[in-house]
Amino acid sequence: METREQREHEAEEAIDAINKKTGRNMPQAIGTAVVLIAIILACLLVSIDLFVVLLVVFMILALWELRVDFATAGLHIPVVVLWICSTVTLIATYYAPRHIATMAMCMLVSSVLVTLAASAKLSIGTRLSTAVAAKLASTDAGARLESSFNHEGGEQHHSRLSHVAVSLFTLLYIPLLGSCIVIALTFNAHPVAHAIMLVFLPALSDTGGLFAGAWFGKHKLSPRISPKKSVEGLVGSMLFAMAGAFAIFACTYDPSLWASRWWVPVVAGIMVGVVGTFGDLCASMLKRDIGIKDMGHLLKGHGGVMDRIDSILLSAPFTCLLLWATGL
């Protein structure tokens, strides 16, 4: 008969095997996911306005992570200006009567301000230097060698145009794509359902891809960019997202609508699965090029905020367009 110590040892070995297959600490990842889901649902239950505030908070954290990540390669983005511009853009887009026109105007003004701030290359305090040093210390030598930047050669020096380019990329990546989430909240009478679809379908897609890839993955999707991604994982992503879309639609819309809209969850699942996986691959390319493993460390078992929201951001404009085109 097995002793308690033997059972604990076997359980630890099983968990280690799962962690190795998935490439992350699964107990930590599950615990963090539960907390995040609780926070998001609590905000949605209180009010959509509070959910918009939560979006702003996540955008601010994501921008700081990118600030540190780019700084490891000697690239400067004006994070304070980006914080202000992102906050104003998301809030103004939601509350203004003409949402898309307001977003476009905010992005235009933000582009000018961010360009000027990136050219000036202003830096305040020493917190960034400390964060960069910690990031480089936690990055293994193999990742640095694969980077386009020589981290071992000391501080990197780039032209002002490089700083402007990476700052504008950040502006398009975070506040512009984040505004698509906000715009979808203004459609018709189902903002909560739209918020759940925009946030949780990519998360379900990631979960489906994680487990399908871990248990059935044999055919590599892009071994050079992300060795753990597989074709089987992509199929699992689409199926999980599709199942989630059917569940959301079943709990939201009248049965009479299904006669003409039954295909929307199918399209949503396939679209989110493909685009979300593409978003993960793009983020992996960015991390590989900079020479880092994770975007940050704020979410235990998940890496940084950017590691969790990359697929959400890239899926947002497509899901928003689908909801608008189908009148849902």
Across residues 72-87, what is the average pLDDT? 89
What contacts 36, CB < 8 A, 6 or more positions away?
299, 308
Asked if residue 221 is part of any domain, the answer here is: yes
**Residue 126: its pLDDT value, please?**
52
**Residue 92: its pLDDT value, please?**
95
Q: Could you say which of 132, 153, 186 is where a domain stops?
A: 186
Across residues 315-319, what is the average pLDDT? 91
Statement: residue 131 has pLDDT above 70: no
| Together in a domain, 199 and 279 | yes
Each residue's pLDDT tens digit, 186-245? 887 788 889 999 998 988 888 888 777 777 767 777 767 776 777 888 888 899 999 999
| Together in a domain, 124 and 213 | no
Asked if residue 65 is part of any domain, the answer here is: yes
Across residues 146-168, what is the average pLDDT? 69
What contacts 247, CB < 8 A, 6 or more positions away?
none
d(CA 183, CA 191): 10
Given a contact cutoff of 8 angstroms between Cβ atoms, the answer to whether 92 and 106 are in contact is yes
- Which band of pLDDT confidence, cut at 50, 70 and 90, is reported for residue 81? very high
Q: Could you say which of 129, 157, 186 is where a domain stops?
A: 186
Each residue's pLDDT tens digit, 8-61? 555 455 555 555 555 556 666 677 778 888 898 899 889 899 999 999 999 999
Each residue's pLDDT tens digit, 204-219? 888 888 777 777 767 7
Residue 260 burial by CB count (10 A; 0-12/13-18/19+): exposed, middle or buried?
Answer: exposed
| Together in a domain, 129 and 177 | yes
Asked if residue 34 is part of any domain, the answer here is: no
More confident position, 7 or 104: 104
- Residues of the domain holding 101: 47-186
Asked if residue 265 is part of any domain, the answer here is: yes
What contacts 237, CB < 8 A, 6 or more positions away?
205, 206, 208, 209, 212, 272, 273, 274, 276, 277
At 95, which amino acid appears? Y
Across 125-129, 184-188, 238-242, 255-259, least confident range = 125-129
**Residue 228: its pLDDT value, please?**
72
Given a contact cutoff of 8 angstroms between Cβ atoms, the answer to whether 234 and 221 are in contact is yes
**Residue 130: its pLDDT value, please?**
58
What contacts 102, CB < 8 A, 6 or more positions away?
92, 93, 96
Given a contact cutoff of 8 angstroms between Cβ atoms, the answer to whether 269 and 322 are in contact is no
Asked if residue 152 is part of any domain, the answer here is: yes
**Residue 299: its pLDDT value, please?**
61
The number of domains in the chain is: 2
Asked if residue 18 is part of any domain, the answer here is: no
Statement: residue 96 has pLDDT above 60: yes
Q: How does DSSP classify residue 299?
A: B
| Together in a domain, 269 and 299 | yes
More confident position, 130 or 324: 324
Statement: residue 6 has pLDDT above 50: yes
Q: Could you say which of 143, 164, 186 is where a domain stops?
A: 186
Given a contact cutoff of 8 angstroms between Cβ atoms, the answer to whether 181 and 52 are in contact is no
**Residue 54: its pLDDT value, please?**
93
| Together in a domain, 240 and 169 | no
Statement: residue 307 has pLDDT above 80: no
| Together in a domain, 196 and 287 | yes
Given a contact cutoff of 8 angstroms between Cβ atoms, the answer to whether 287 and 231 are in contact is no
Each residue's pLDDT tens digit, 263-288? 889 999 999 989 988 887 887 787 77
**Residue 144: its pLDDT value, please?**
53
Nearest Cα residue to 22 out of 207, 202, 225: 207
CA dihedral sign, ordered 77, 135, 312, 283: positive
| Together in a domain, 134 and 195 | no
**Residue 243: its pLDDT value, please?**
92
Range list of H helices, the chain: 4-22, 26-46, 48-71, 79-95, 99-120, 127-138, 141-146, 160-171, 177-184, 191-216, 231-252, 258-261, 264-290, 305-326
**Residue 33: its pLDDT value, please?**
73
| Together in a domain, 176 and 291 | no
| Together in a domain, 150 and 201 | no
**Residue 11: its pLDDT value, please?**
47
Given a contact cutoff of 8 angstroms between Cβ atoms, the answer to whether 273 and 320 are in contact is no
| Encoded tokens for 206 | 């990631």
| Together in a domain, 205 and 304 | yes
Asked if residue 38 is part of any domain, the answer here is: no
Mean pLDDT of the chain: 79
Statement: residue 160 has pLDDT above 90: no
Given a contact cutoff of 8 angstroms between Cβ atoms, the answer to whether 267 and 322 are in contact is yes
Phi-psi region at 24: left, alpha or beta (left = phi > 0; alpha = psi -120 to 50):
beta
| Together in a domain, 215 and 151 | no
| Together in a domain, 181 and 71 | yes
Asked if residue 1 is part of any domain, the answer here is: no
Across 3-12, 36-45, 61-70, 156-165, least confident range = 3-12
- Which band of pLDDT confidence, cut at 50, 70 and 90, is reported for residue 113? very high
